[in-house]
Structure 1
C-alpha cells in the first residue's frame, strides 16, 4: 500500500520499521520538529526522522496540519492510507479525508480506557492488570474513533513504563502490519467505542514525580515504575533531591509518613500512609543511578531522617 507515515518517538519508529519490512511504499514521513535534547540541549532529530532519512524517505516537520497548502501537498501524494503513531499533532478533518482508506492510529491502550498522551504510565499508576494495542480509525476526537483491531498484553509486576513501552511498541508494529493486510480486503470490523467507559491519560509533568508519602506504599511503588524513565520519581531529604529508579512496597512496621525507618544495604525504608516503601536503586542530583548499598557509602541517611512531601 502507499502510506503516509506520521510519528515521532521510538514507539513510532518500530512501526515504521515493520511497515518498511513488509514492503509498503512510504513516499512521505511526517514528524515533529527537531527538539533540544541531551546535556548540550542541541537540536535533535526524532527517532522517526532518523529512520526515514536512513531509508531515503522525504521528511516533513510542520508545526500544524491546518495550512491549506500543506493539505494540498498531502493530497498530491495519492496515499491509500495514513498511519499515525505518537505523532504529537492533531489531524484536522480535511487531512483525515485525504487518504483513500482514511487514517489509522496505533494507540497503546485498550480503548476506550486511557485515551490521551500517556496511556502506558496511567495504566501503571492505576494498577491495571493488562493493557494492549488498538488500531483505530481516526476521527477528529481525541482517540475516539472506531477500533479496528485490539491485542491485550498482561502487565507484569516488575514492568516499568520503559519495559512496557518496549513490549507495546513491538505489539503495535505487528498489529499495524496485519491491519494493513486485512484493511483492503474488508476483513476489519469497526467497533465503536463506549464513551461512558472512557478514561483520560493526561500528559505527565515533573511536578507529579515528587512522591506524596501520605499515599500507600503500593501506590508509590506503582508511581516509581510509571515514572521510569520519565520524569523519575523523587524525594527530598536533607535539602537534596534523590531520584528513585526502583522500589518495592512492603507491609511492615509503621511510622510517620515520610520518615526513614532504616537505611542499610538492603534498602532505604520510608514509612507511607499505609505500608513501607523500600528504595532499592536511587540517584543523587548530578550523579549516577546506583544500588542503595553503593549510594549509602557516600551519603549518610539513617532512621529518623524525614523526607519532604
Structure 2
C-alpha cells in the first residue's frame, strides 16, 4: 500500500519501521515542527523526521492542519498541507501520536477516490483512556491490563470504530517507559495486520462501547509533586506512571528532589517502624534506600535525583548526608530493615 504516515515520537517510529519492514511504501510523512530541547535548547527533529530522512521519505511539518486557524501562518501551513494531500497518490493514512488534531477536511481527503480512510494506533483498549496520555493514566489508576486499538478516525476525540485490538497485562512494577516500549512494539505489529485485513477487504469495524469510557488528560508538570498523605500504593503508582516524564518529585530542605523508583514494603516490613510518623517523614534506612511514611504505611525510595545532578541510588544519597541533623535523627530512630 501507498501510505501517508503522521506521527512524531519514538512510539510512532516503531510503527513506521514495522510498516516499512512489511513492504509498504511510505509516500510522505507528517510530523511536528522541530522543537528546542536539551540543556542548550537547540532545535531537534522528531524521531519520525529522522527516520524518514534516513529513508529519503518526503517530510511535511505544518504548524497546524486547521485551515480555519486564527493565526495566519498556521492557516497558510494548513492550506498547503491539505493541497499536498489532495495532489499526492496514496491508499491509506496512518496516524500515531502525531500531536496535531486532524480536521474533517483531512479525514475527507483520506476517503476520496477509493482510499481506505485514516486509521489511528491508540495505546489503550478503547473506550477506556481516550486522549493524550493513556499509558500514564492506566498505570496511575492501577489498571491491570491495557492494550492497543487500531481505530478508524472520525471527527471526535478517539471516538471512531475499532478494526482490531489486543490486550497486554500491566506488571505491578511497570513504569510508563517499560509499558510504552511494549505497546509500541504491539502497535507496529497490529497496524501491519490491520492493513493486511484492509487490503483483503476484511474490514469489520466495531463501534466503541458506551460503557467504560474514560479520558486520559495530558500530563501536567504540576501533577508530579507527591502528596505523602496519599496511600503508599497510590504514590507507588504515581511514581511509576510519571517515569520517565515528568518524574514524581518532593520537597526536601528547600530542594525539589525527583523520585525515580520506589517499592512497596513486603508484608513483614509493613509494621516494622511501630507508631506512624507524619506523612513525608523519612523514618529509616533500608538495604537499598530509605523509608518514607505515607498515609497508611511506609514506602521504600530506591532511586532519586537532586537538582542539576544525575540519578543515584537512594541509599547513596542517604549515606552521604551523615552530617545532616535530619540524617542523625533518622539513623538513631530506626535500625536498617532488610
Give the shorter-chain TM-score range. Answer: over 0.9
Q: Indicate which of 246, 262, 266 corresponds to 1:231.
A: 246
- Distance of 1:30 and 1:102 partners within structure 2: 16
Gap regions ≥5 residues in structure 1: none
Q: Indicate which of 159, 178, 183 corresponds to 1:144.
A: 159
- Distance of 1:13 and 1:201 partners within structure 2: 22
- Distance of 1:59 and 1:35 partners within structure 2: 15
Deviation at 1:304? Answer: 6.0
- State how 1:1-309 maps to structure 2 within 5 Å: 1-66=1-66, 67-99=78-110, 100-250=115-265, 251-252=270-271, 253=273, 254-299=276-321, 300=324, 301-302=326-327
TM-score, normalised via structure 2 length: 0.87
After superposition, the Cα gap between the structure-2 partners of 1:243 and 1:218, relative to the gap in structure 1 and judged at 3 Å, is same
Gap regions ≥5 residues in structure 2: 67-77, 332-338
Deviates more, 1:173-182 or 1:74-83: 74-83
Question: Residue 97 of structure 1 aligns to a residue in which SS?
Answer: helix
Deviation at 1:188? Answer: 3.2
Q: Count the aligned residue pairs.
A: 305
Higher strand share goes to which structure?
Answer: 1
The answer (yes or no) to whether the contact 2:120–2:151 under 8 Å persists in 1 is yes
- Distance of 2:313 and 2:214 partners within structure 1: 36
The answer (yes or no) to whether the contact 1:249–1:275 under 8 Å persists in 2 is no
Partner of 2:70: none
- Distance of 2:314 and 2:159 partners within structure 1: 44
Superimposed CA distance per residue, residues 113-165 of structure 1 (whole angstroms, 9 cap, x where no aligned partner) = 00011000000000000110000000011111001100100001121000000
- Distance of 2:297 and 2:130 partners within structure 1: 31
CA RMSD of aligned residues (A): 1.5
Question: Residue 109 of structure 2 aligns to a residue in which SS?
Answer: coil
Deviation at 1:266? Answer: 3.3
Superimposed CA distance per residue, residues 74-116 of structure 1 (whole angstroms, 9 cap, x where no aligned partner) = 0111211100000001111111121211100000000000001
Question: Residue 105 of structure 1 aligns to a residue in which SS?
Answer: strand
- Distance of 1:150 and 1:117 partners within structure 2: 18
Question: Residue 264 of structure 2 aligns to a residue in which SS?
Answer: strand
**Could you say which structure has the larger radius of gyration?**
2
- Distance of 1:162 and 1:68 partners within structure 2: 36
